[in-house]
Amino acid sequence: MSQLAVTVIGPDRPGIIADVTEALVGTGVNLEDTTMTLLRGHFAMMIVCAGPFDEVKSALEPLRGELVITVRTMGPEHEHAPIGAPYMLSVHGADRPGIVAAVTRMIAAAGGTITDLATRLSGGLYVLTAEVELPPTAELGMLNRALEITAEELGVGVTLRPAESDDL
């Protein structure tokens, strides 16, 4: 059995999750990691599972058309060892291009890694929330200052704070 990555996207409707998972269970697949969300009225799902590639692809075939479905074989699993302390990053303000790129570049420059990120646009308000891990060597004062400068240039507000256990 191969470790597979399955992605599904399409217009939201009742029963998509049931349809996809029922098709998969018929192949003997067990869902390992999943994430599902609505993006501007479209349902998006990512699944990591172990199963027979050809059978999984065939089982999902009847759902193609209304849904865009991909099935890919993944390489060996990489354990994610935390690099440091968890933080919560939030950005909010008027929508404009470049917010995600600029803010995530600051985290990367500090040696941080982003373990989860979500954005939402509601009217003209853009909101980004992210779970971030920062190494012990990260200069928090410098990172906060860099984020403040970037936020000012973008016309948004930014907050970086240690994550509480109930945040994660």
Q: What is 26-61 written as a DSSP string?
A: TTT-EEEEEEEEEETTEEEEEEEEEE-HHHHHHHHG
Does 84 have pLDDT greater than 70?
Answer: yes
Which pLDDT value is given to residue 100?
96
Which pLDDT value is given to residue 11?
97
Which pLDDT value is given to residue 1?
76
Please give the average per-residue pLDDT across 85-110, as a whole number.
96
Query: Can you point out the beta strands (E) in 95-163?
Result: 113-122, 125-134, 156-162
Percent of the chain clearing pLDDT 90 (strictly above): 86
Does 74 have pLDDT greater than 70?
Answer: yes
Asked whether the domain spanning 85-162 has the same topology as the one spanning 2-73, the reply is: yes
The Cα 6–Cα 34 span in angstroms is 9
Using one digit for the tens of pLDDT, what is the confidence trace for 126-155?
999 999 999 999 999 999 999 999 999 999
Amino acid at 115: T
What's the CATH number for 85-162?
Answer: 3.30.70.260
For the chain, the structural domain boundaries read: 2-73, 85-162
- Fold (topology level) of 2-73: Alpha-Beta Plaits (3.30.70)
Which pLDDT value is given to residue 80?
67
